[in-house]
Amino acid sequence: MKEFDYRKAPDVSGAVALLDADPDARYLAGGTNLVDLMKSGVERPARLVDVRQLPLDRIESTPDGGLRIGATVTNSDLAAHPGIRGRYPVLTQAVLAGASGQLRNMATVGGNLLQRTRCAYFTDTTKPCNKRDPGSGCPALGGEHHNHAILGASESCVAVHPSDMAVALAALDAVVHYETADGRGELPLDQLYPPVAGTPDRETALPAGALITGVSLPPLPVAARSRYRKVRERASYAFAIGSVAAALDIRDGIVRDARLAFGAVASRPWRARTAEQALIGAPATAETYAAAAEAELEAARPLPHNGYKVPLMRNLTVAVLSELDEEAAR
């Protein structure tokens, strides 16, 4: 294995200084993805800056009535937090749908947002991959792609983002906070992941050297009735082949407010804004839900072996919205 330098950061600004925006350096938090990638040779960092011990492990109320989640809060602690479970149940459900108990005890919120695709061509260094080796090509297009993107992909890359948590955060209008040597900044989660276009290697809009310090959730009453459902090829310990995060506010049989995001369909968590527009103000019926899902999926461009994701996402959306509808009626 390649030898590397390991530093433990004393504080946030110290971590940013240690990394020094060096493209050969990486922040290390839970390590549940980075260490695997180092073993497979996809990542060969010269320096690791350990940020796990930074004081970013709290979940606190914000003045506007929302919550701010520190970047090193573990997935387990996030899922178990009473404020999250009570006010943003979709987030707890999404986190618990991912990985295993052992991994969730290690994995952090910041790291979860930055995990890399599990596309098997990306993780195999003997294969071409535009994301890993820009310009080398995308073998998934003509190869094995049954779990690849149907939305927002390009000729360069059809990989999907693996996170469950980020799908819920996309639905919840979360904002990502970061710090660089130049100071603090923030990005709506929806803008954290740029479109693939011809640059699949550019996975986030974060400035060079930025350290994610936290994620804030706005006060979002609609999220009190929210749900995450994940479909995968076994009952546990697998990445989604399709997932839906949804929040629904129904009064007098009319959808007053809605949040909807899809997972495992694109290079990023897919906020389904077209569907949301179709839902809001419409009668709360299965027909409305189906029409909304279909409106969103009109943009789908399936590959030869992942066309099933279109009916899957449609059915899953209708099912989750109907469940929320029934929950509201109880």
| Interaction site with another protein (CB under 8 A) | 1-2, 41, 118, 120-121, 123-124, 126-127, 139, 142-144, 146, 231, 233-238, 241-242, 308, 311-312, 314-316, 318-319
- The residue among 16, 164, 162, 171 whose CA lies nearest residue 78 is 164
d(CA 100, CA 76): 10
3-state helix, strand, coil in the chain (%, to 5): 30, 20, 50
For 241, the token pair is: 């082949």
Closer residue to another protein (CB): 70 or 162? 162
Which amino acid is located at 317 in the chain?
A: T
Q: How far is the CB of 37 from another protein (least distance, A)?
A: 12
**Smaller CB separation from another protein, 142 or 281:** 142
Query: Amino acid letter at 206?
Result: L
Q: Which is nearer to another protein, 127 or 177 (CB)?
A: 127
CA distance 206 to 212: 9
Cβ atoms of 89 and 226 closer than 8 Å? yes
Count Cβ neighbours within 10 Å for each residue of 286-324 and write b for 16 or more, e otherwise: eebbbbbbbbbbeebebbeebeebbebbbebbbbbbbeb
**CA angle at residue 56 from 50 to 60, to 5 degrees?**
165
**Residue 318 Cβ vs another protein, minimum distance, rounded to whole Å:** 6
The helix or strand, by DSSP H or E, that contains position 187, with its residue range, turns out to be strand 183-188
**Distance (Å, rounded) from C-alpha 281 to C-alpha 110?**
35
Q: How far is the CB of 321 from another protein (least distance, A)?
A: 11
CB nearer to another protein: pick between 278 and 318 = 318
What is the smallest separation between the CB atom of 47 and another protein, expressed in angstroms?
18
Identity of the residue, 192 or 312, whose beta carbon is nearer to another protein in the bound complex:
312
- Nearest distance in Å: CB 278, another protein: 17
> What's the min distance (Å) between Cβ of 203 and another protein?
20
Helix (H) or strand (E) holding 277: helix 273-279
CB contact at 8 A, 257 and 218: no
For residue 139, count CB atoms less than 10 angstroms from its CB and return exposed for 0-12, middle for 13-18, buried for 19 or more.
middle
* CB nearer another protein, residue 183 or residue 236: 236
Q: How far apart are CB 33 and another protein at their closest, in Å?
A: 11
Tokens of 95: 């986190």
Instruction: Please identify, using beta-carbon distances, which residue of 121 and 193 lies nearer to another protein.
Output: 121
Minimum distance from residue 239 beta carbon to another protein (Å): 8
Nearer to another protein (CB atom), residue 17 or residue 290: 290
Nearer to another protein, 252 or 326 (CB): 326
DSSP state, residue 222: G
